[in-house]
Structures are given as C-alpha cells and as structure tokens.
Amino acid sequence: MARVPVKLVSWDEIVEWSRGLARKIEESSWIPDLVVAVSRGGFVPARLICDFMDINDLLAVQSQHWVEAALAAERAILKYPYIVDVKDKKILVVDDIVDTGDTLELAKTFIEREWKPSEVKTAALQWISSVAKFRPDYYYIEVKDWTWFQYPWTRLEDVSQFIMRIFREDDRVKGRSIDEAYLKDLFKEWFGVEPGQFGFYWSEALNRLVIKGFLTKEDGLYRCIKCGSR
C-alpha cells in the first residue's frame, strides 16, 4: 500500500469528466449566465464547462491557503476580493475538487455576500464525500477513499513536491546521497505510481529542484540541502 495514494489523471479524463459535469447541470434544467472559476484548480474545468454549455462569460476568483501558526491549521482566503456588478445573474462557481470543502464554500459565500447575484450554485469534477464538510450542488465523481488526484495542470509542481517529501520524511534518505534508480523505487513505494508514467515531468522536476537549490547533484547522486541530517 502506498503511503500517499495518488491517481494520475489524464487530459482525456478531464475532458470526459467536464463533459459529464456539464450534462448533469443541463439535466437539472438550470443554466448559469456566468461561470466563475476558483483559481487555479478550477480554471480548466470551468473553461471546458463554458464550451460544453455554450456559456460566454467566465471570471475567476483566486483562493489561497494560509497556515495559521497558532492553530497549525490551514485557512482559505480570497487573494483578490474584487467586486463586480453581476446583479440579476445566475452564477456557477467551479473548482476541480472538493476535498475539505473550504475553498468552494468560501468562494460561494463571498460571491453571494459581495456580488449579490440572483443565484449561486457550485460544481466540481470530484467530491471527496468522506472528508468534505461542504457538498457542491453538482459533481461528476464521488470519491469515498481519500486520494491525491494528480491533475495534468500541476504535474511539475506535484512531482517536485512528491520528491521533496521523500527527502524530508523518509528515514532511509535523510542526510544521505542517493542515486536516481533508488529515488524511483522510493517514489513508487510512497505514491503507488511509476515515475515513468510522468514522462518528461520526472527529469524536469529533478532539474528544477537542483536549479532552485533544494537538491544537489554530484556524480549522479542527489542530496537534499534543506532537509537536515541525522
């Protein structure tokens, strides 16, 4: 069993899921005048929904997570809380996934309170029903067992973070230099997916981590500079 269950999501699946989500909305006979993407995860699904539902108007609000030191908990806030005149409009707020539910709920509440449109509904490609405290009005897939969905628009970011997680948290690696083959074995063990499935993103992520100064590469061995040693 992987320590962190990861499912690699393809671009084709994103198109299929967005189409399915658009269909569900249409079947409910509710047609929005305006779509609002929750940036950045909701961008691609929101744009595809506009295409499938023939909707012209697309805006975005950006959410950000703050780690509250005293509480050691993350809190979602809106980074640019701008106000627009959308009175009398029906708004669909779209995100990729509802995990804790914080983000989409925050966006909905903000839009209702500050923009005062005639109606706001929420949609996401996926809803993790076992952990979310917010249920979107529309979703395409209900997820029961928590999984990290590796969406195609965050491949480089995610692979880089997965690699750093191994260097920071795996006792077999802390303070040591390891070769790429061993790193690949650990990656498979941690996340349940073969690095080969990520194509060029794998080497791109390693290069980026070296360039950014998180890892060093000497004689083919990688070592973390900012991970502490034992």
Q: Is residue 107 near ligand ADE by the rule CB under 6 A?
A: no
In the complex, least distance from residue 156 CB atom to ligand ADE, rounded to whole angstroms: 14
| Binds ligand ADE by CB under 6 A, chosen from 44, 48, 92, 99 | 99
| Binds ligand ADE by CB under 6 A, chosen from 97, 107, 159, 193 | 97
Helix/strand/coil for 5: coil
In the complex, least distance from residue 219 CB atom to ligand ADE, rounded to whole angstroms: 36
Residue nearest to ligand ADE (CB): 99
- Which amino acid is it at 207? N
Q: Is residue 191 near ligand ADE by the rule CB under 6 A?
A: no
Cβ atoms within 10 Å, residue 196: 9
Q: Is residue 148 near ligand ADE by the rule CB under 6 A?
A: yes
Q: Beta 177-179 vs 148-150: how paired, if at all?
A: unpaired
Taking Cα atoms as reference points, which of 190, 58, 33 lies closest to residue 118? 33
Q: Is residue 149 near ligand ADE by the rule CB under 6 A?
A: yes
Q: Site for ligand ADE (CB under 6 A): how many residues? A: 4
In the complex, least distance from residue 89 CB atom to ligand ADE, rounded to whole angstroms: 28
Question: Pattern of binders to ligand ADE over 28-67, x per CB under 6 A?
Answer: ----------------------------------------
With a CB cutoff of 8 Å and minimum separation 6, the contacts of 11 are: 152
The stretches of the chain forming alpha helices (DSSP H) are 11-27, 43-53, 102-110, 155-169, 180-191, 201-211
Nearer to ligand ADE, 117 or 158 (CB): 158
DSSP 83-139: ----TT-EEEEEEEEESSSHHHHHHHHHIIIII--SEEEEEEEEEETTT-S---SEE
In the complex, least distance from residue 38 CB atom to ligand ADE, rounded to whole angstroms: 11
Nearer to ligand ADE, 99 or 105 (CB): 99
In the complex, least distance from residue 149 CB atom to ligand ADE, rounded to whole angstroms: 4
Sign of CA dihedral 209, 227, 184, 5: negative
Strand partners, 34: 57, 91
Binding site for ligand ADE (CB under 6 A): 97, 99, 148-149
